[in-house]
Structure 1
Amino acid sequence: MTARFVVHARAALIDGAFATDVRIAARDGVIAEITAGVPEQPGELSLDVVVPGFVNAHSHAFHRLLRGRTHDRGGDFWVWRERMYHEAAALTPASYRALAEQVFREMRDAGYTAVGEFHYVHHQPDGTPYPDHAMERALADAAVAVGIRLVLLDTCYLRGGVGEPLTDRQRRFGDADAHAWLDRWHALREALTGGLVTVGAAVHSVRAVTPADLAVIGRELPADVPLHVHVSEQVAENDACREAYGVTPTRLLAEHGLLRATTATVHATHLTADDIALLGSAGASVVMCPTTEADLGDGIGPAPELRDAGVTLAIGSDQHAVIDPFEEVARLELDQRLCAQRRGVFTPAQLWHAGSAGGARALGLGGAAVRGLGSETPSGAPGSAPGLRVGDPFDAVAVDAATARTRGADLLQLPLVARAADVVATIVGGTVTRRTT
């Protein structure tokens, strides 16, 4: 017997435009029918403005511990990283479970319906394994408890830097070698995948592996698995890679078969023209994290150049200095205005896409919602129009368009106007959660 759930929205985003008086019917958590221009019927859940759920394509849940606790120390990314290591050392499965539930709940209430957790705190502080994937299960259990989709991006982290072994502070991040990481990854995927949880893969960065490790992963990781990598967040990372290997991090990934349509590079702040062309020709994704990149002083990445090259853009909250998908997509545009000294670098539809379908594509989440406009368009491809679609999981966000912030705004321009406080409910797989904060 199928479970039916019906929403009536005053307005809903469909194929890149807002329709009015929209009935959205779902069966077993999947959208079965969308009809515009119909009156509300008894028993339907009445909502104001309904849009596809936002996708947080890059998260480190434990970094939330640093919010508001590092700004008096100045410095740069590398100074911040020392404090991050301190927090990582203290995590246990129980404390991580409790923390992750708080962070995922904040995400859900802000309008994120899915999160890609870039996870590398695998083992006990001395590097010995926990039994039965305890840290990974802590994250999965937290996501299920909150009701948010989780793509657990289990991360290969084998080196402390280019040419350097893991330090004592990094020991719990690492496996013996790339083969051992792959063995653990396969076991983890078999143990955890199901329901709201899937398992993807990540390489922490080219600092954290050798070219030989990349070659192993390129050969042995299934090509259909989403693979995320921190790339060129810092100039120092590029310099170290060039000095050691004679190429940029992006070129090094390409040389070892790790630039694919299923690859998502994270940050991609300091790229060359060749890097951009490589990412575009591969049909890869780039996950930008504007609030984190601003908070850490990383720089502003070449988002319009990446878009024009055919790269799919997505957003992430990364270290959670801010958890607000509207803030991320707004800064994607506003930061570029500061660089270009003009407005309208991205259209509103492109901002909606980066916040939803672009992230779904980067995380390998299926369903028609990641196809964008028209069945002829590849999943989540740049230039496709965002919107709710029949055949998708019913993952959506209800926004109040009559708050002090949003009143009078063109609905398509809400990414530049609304904020997380304007979210009134999230829907994940047809399950509605009213905002709790």
Structure 2
Amino acid sequence: MILHCATALIDGVAVPLVRIHAQGGRIVRVEQGVAAADGDLRLGVVAPGSGNAHSHAFHRALRGRTHGDGGDFWGWRDRMYALADRLDPDTHHRLARAVFAEMLVSGWTAVGEFHYLHHRPGGTPYRPAHAMERALADAAQDVGIRLTLLDTCYLSAGPGAALSGTALRFGDGSARQWLDRWSDLRAELGPHTRLGAAIHSVRAVPPDAIARIVRELPEDVPLHVHLSEQPRENEDCLAEYGVTPTALLERAGALSARLSVVHATHLTDEDIRMLGDAAVTVVMCPTTEADLGDGIGPARRLADAGARIALGSDQNAVVDPFLEARGLEAGERLSSGRRGRFTPRELVAALSTAGYAALGETGGIREGAACDLVEIDDASVRTAGADPEQLALVATSADIRRVIVGGTVRAEGGRLRTPAGVAGESAEELLTAVLGTGRGDR
């Protein structure tokens, strides 16, 4: 397949008249300054697809239902646990399919699903095994979004505290048992789904288990962890182990370029230095961090220290890559009192190459990268007159015209498309079918 772009954002720079040759789902050649040829798929302004480096798809069902009573992260978590307790493989699949469709039509072309809902209520395994994981993999394949399934180890409710209630569904008993289940899952999933891994947090996985996972997990597997999202996590870690969560990860051998730490909101100067020295990826989730009142993380300082910044939708209260990029920059402006903390080129990189790298993939418009692209309407009420290189600061998901994954158009005008190019369901239809309309028909 050959795609001709009137303008393409290559490394964040607007380049006119670009032909992209795709084969086997990857970019094999990029020509600049050339006219379209017969048979080319002709596109307008094209950006690389965005990699959603942190998602909990099922949290989407809480959107618009948790704001009335105020509270904090911990109160929100109680509502999330109640939701998790009601999901089974069928409802999980239908909900994930709808949410992945919403992501795809919004311009997220790849997603890292941070998944810990492994077992039946009470903690007994599904038979056949991996039913909840298969539900996610099948949902992504149905929609056409690229999935890295971040199968998550979750062993305790806090230092020395056993899992109970809903959280029994999350646990595998030990790092050894989680590694065994992970290996079995990797053999079962096949080539359509990339299997990554995650340590839920230093609160949920003790240091010896973290160290074992780091040692025994294959080196090519992306590894993610929630880090210092809440001050309480830091306080508990200091009380139990005498160090910050970042220092605990460093002690366990976890800090490296393959690690992605999620949130990293409440850090010390030494934490920032360690994360930067290890060249970790820091996955910021600005719309979630704002929604839950988490705080504003030190993104610019982390980037300057040597960390790579990626973005994610997390609880999916907002599904819009442009709003995550703007939230990153807006948080920095609010906390520093200065504009332009991240350049438009850096924001595009956070969405594309950094997000894809966190998922074990190669993004961007370059040879060898996945041929995952989005066409942006540059003449909408939001984008008219904007410099193409600054579209990430003015566009929204409503400005996505077409979405291409693996060299195939998978969404157009807010509707899914089959590999054969047939128009399918809209994201709205899928979401209302599983969530209702908000008029009492949930």
* TM-score under structure 2 length normalisation: 0.92
> Equivalents in 2 of 1:268, 1:349: separation in Å?
22
Q: 2:199: which partner in 1?
A: 203
Q: Which amino acid aligns with 1:239?
A: E
Question: Are the aligned partners of 2:11 and 2:349 in contact in 1 as well (CA < 8 Å)?
Answer: no
CA drift at 1:38? 1.9
Matched residue of 2:59: which SS? helix
Q: 1:66: which partner in 2?
A: 62
Matched, 1:75 2:52: no
> Equivalents in 2 of 1:327, 1:30: separation in Å?
27
Matched residue of 2:68: which SS? helix
Q: 2:312: which partner in 1?
A: 316
Q: 1:284-433 maps to which residues of 2 (within 5 A)?
A: 284-365=280-361, 367=362, 369=363, 387-433=364-410
Q: Which amino acid aligns with 1:408?
A: G
> Equivalents in 1 of 2:236, 2:368: separation in Å?
46
> Equivalents in 1 of 2:307, 2:300: separation in Å?
10
> Equivalents in 2 of 1:396, 1:346: separation in Å?
22
> Equivalents in 2 of 1:178, 1:41: separation in Å?
55
> Equivalents in 1 of 2:386, 2:349: separation in Å?
19
Matched, 1:13 2:9: yes
Write the deviation string for residues 364-405 of structure 1: whole angstroms up to 9, x where unpaired. 11x4x3xxxxxxxxxxxxxxxxx4102212111111111111
> Equivalents in 2 of 1:71, 1:324: separation in Å?
20
Q: Which amino acid aligns with 1:88?
A: A
Q: 1:380: which partner in 2?
A: none
Matched, 1:133 2:110: no
Write the deviation string for residues 232-281 of structure 1: whole angstroms up to 9, x where unpaired. 00001100000000000010011011111100000000011111111111
Matched residue of 1:330: which SS? helix
After TM superposition, the structure 1 stretch with the greater mean CA deviation from structure 2, 113-122 or 207-216, is 207-216
Q: 1:251-266 maps to which residues of 2 (within 5 A)?
A: 251-266=247-262
Matched residue of 2:198: which SS? strand
Match of 2:179 among 175, 179, 182: 182
> Equivalents in 1 of 2:65, 2:209: separation in Å?
36
> Equivalents in 2 of 1:283, 1:28: separation in Å?
31
State the Cα RMSD in Å. 1.0
Question: Are the aligned partners of 1:8 and 1:23 in contact in 2 as well (CA < 8 Å)?
Answer: yes
Q: 2:429: which partner in 1?
A: none
Q: 2:434: which partner in 1?
A: none
Write the deviation string for residues 320-345 of structure 1: whole angstroms up to 9, x where unpaired. 01000000001110111001101010
Q: Aligned pairs, how many? A: 413
Question: Are the aligned partners of 1:193 and 1:199 in contact in 2 as well (CA < 8 Å)?
Answer: no
CA drift at 1:47? 1.1
Matched residue of 1:72: which SS? coil
> Equivalents in 2 of 1:16, 1:408: separation in Å?
18
> Equivalents in 2 of 1:410, 1:338: separation in Å?
24
> Equivalents in 1 of 2:277, 2:290: separation in Å?
28
> Equivalents in 2 of 1:399, 1:234: separation in Å?
36
Q: 1:41: which partner in 2?
A: 37
Q: Which amino acid aligns with 2:51?
A: V
> Equivalents in 1 of 2:190, 2:48: separation in Å?
23
Matched residue of 1:73: which SS? coil
Question: Are the aligned partners of 1:22 and 1:36 in contact in 2 as well (CA < 8 Å)?
Answer: yes
Structure 1 consecutive aligned stretches of length 4 or more whose deviation exceeds 6 Å = none
Q: Which runs of 5+ in 2 are unaligned?
A: 416-425, 427-442
CA drift at 1:224? 2.6
> Equivalents in 1 of 2:258, 2:55: separation in Å?
18
Question: Are the aligned partners of 1:58 and 1:315 in contact in 2 as well (CA < 8 Å)?
Answer: yes
CA drift at 1:17? 1.1
Q: 2:431: which partner in 1?
A: none
Question: Are the aligned partners of 1:114 and 1:148 in contact in 2 as well (CA < 8 Å)?
Answer: yes
> Equivalents in 2 of 1:198, 1:31: separation in Å?
19
Matched residue of 1:432: which SS? strand
Q: 1:373: which partner in 2?
A: none
CA drift at 1:22? 1.5
> Equivalents in 2 of 1:15, 1:166: separation in Å?
45
Write the deviation string for residues 38-91 of structure 1: whole angstroms up to 9, x where unpaired. 222222211111111000000001100100000001000000000000000000
Matched, 1:230 2:195: no
After TM superposition, the structure 1 stretch with the greater mean CA deviation from structure 2, 14-23 or 395-404, is 14-23
Matched, 1:163 2:160: yes
Q: 1:49-128 maps to which residues of 2 (within 5 A)?
A: 49-128=45-124
Q: Which amino acid aligns with 2:264?
A: A
CA drift at 1:136? 0.2
CA drift at 1:15? 3.5
After TM superposition, the structure 1 stretch with the greater mean CA deviation from structure 2, 74-83 or 19-28, is 19-28
After TM superposition, the structure 1 stretch with the greater mean CA deviation from structure 2, 34-43 or 199-208, is 34-43
Question: Are the aligned partners of 2:11 and 2:345 in contact in 1 as well (CA < 8 Å)?
Answer: no
CA drift at 1:123? 0.2
Write the deviation string for residues 134-156 of structure 1: whole angstroms up to 9, x where unpaired. 00000000000000110000000
Matched, 1:242 2:219: no
Q: Which amino acid aligns with 1:160?
A: A
> Equivalents in 1 of 2:270, 2:175: separation in Å?
28
Q: Which amino acid aligns with 1:215?
A: A
Write the deviation string for residues 151-170 of structure 1: whole angstroms up to 9, x where unpaired. 00000001012221101120
> Equivalents in 2 of 1:430, 1:151: separation in Å?
18
Q: Which amino acid aligns with 2:110?
A: A
Q: Which amino acid aligns with 2:218?
A: P
Q: Which runs of 5+ in 1 are unaligned?
A: 370-386
